[in-house]
Amino acid sequence: MIRYLRHKEIDFQKWDVCIDAAINGLPYASSWYLDIACEENWDALVLDDYDAVFPLPFKNRIIYKQLYQPFFLQQLGLFYKNADQHQQLNYFIEQLPAQFRKINLQLNTQNYVQSTFLKLKHKCTHHIILDKTYAEQSALYNTNTKRNLKKAQSYHFAISKNITPAQLTVLRKKYLGDELKGIQDEADFLRLQRLMEKALSINHGFINGITDADGEMLAVVFYLTGHNHIIYLNAISSADGKEKQAMTYLIDALIRDNAGTKQVFDFEGSMIPGVARFYKGFGAEEIPYPVIIK
């Protein structure tokens, strides 16, 4: 039986046991992550005794609720423990309460929608399965990436691993503030900082940065980890860092450090052609996921 539960009715211990055991589990779906990213404004559909779960992040409108995709939370949808439960997805969608009169919700790469009740489109992310040696994976880099990496290596960068979420937030405002104006505000910056702080405190993330010979930070990335995934969640480059290909250097270092681990390196996008080309330059494969709309 599929039940609709309001946030206060969810057994979070059972929820997290389900996500931890899920075949397609992702860090985004853990209760701690949802609570911060959604500011506790999420309900859920639950199958039986938390055998499969479907989080429902919402915004309150005057007379209805709207399902939406919060910032810093790329994929949700149905998470399930047994392979045959993926077939339950369309039943879950049909059980969405009528109070959710508007829906724009991104599911995950292991969700396959057949329902005709909603509009459907697809977005994509890019994955590298880190099952190869570094030599094997780097051989898959395209010509442009190899050239950019060689340029970056000529600067003799140093990798810094002592960056705090607060420092990263300052850099995000400094280098992305104008670009994100009207899209994300101070509350969103602070929400991301809380997500990073919590992830670091429970060993579900790490921050790597690149400094030049003068100690100037050129690029920094927060990686969210868990469920055999390393997710490229928050990346920032200065103008000098872009010129010197510091981000190419950082991503190559991540691949080098984790080669052969069989983890999934998820770039979290992108639908922007130029960014997608950058990811594919490392040998990443385009992976689609559905978006349901009403």
Q: Does 126-289 carry CATH code 3.40.630.30?
A: yes
**pLDDT range class, residue 272, cuts 50, 70, 90:** confident
Q: Which CATH class is domain 2-117?
A: alpha beta
- Cα dihedral: 180, 186, 188, 194 (round 10): 130
Name the residue ranges covered by the structural domains of the chain: 2-117, 126-289
Q: What global pTM score does this model have?
A: 0.95
Mean of all residue pLDDT scores within the chain: 95
**Distance set, CA 240 to CA 99, 154, 174, 219 (Å):** 49, 14, 13, 9
Report the DSSP beta bridge partners of residue 129: 264
Phi/psi of residue 179, each to 5°? Answer: -65, -35
Bridge partners for 121 per DSSP: 291
Model confidence over 184-237: pLDDT tens digits?
989 999 999 999 999 999 999 999 999 988 889 999 999 999 999 999 999 999
> 3-class SS at 93?
helix
Nearest to 89, CA basis, from 155, 32, 143, 23: 23
pLDDT tens-digit series, residues 141-194: 999 999 999 999 999 899 999 999 999 999 999 999 888 888 898 999 999 999
Q: What is the pLDDT of residue 117?
A: 66
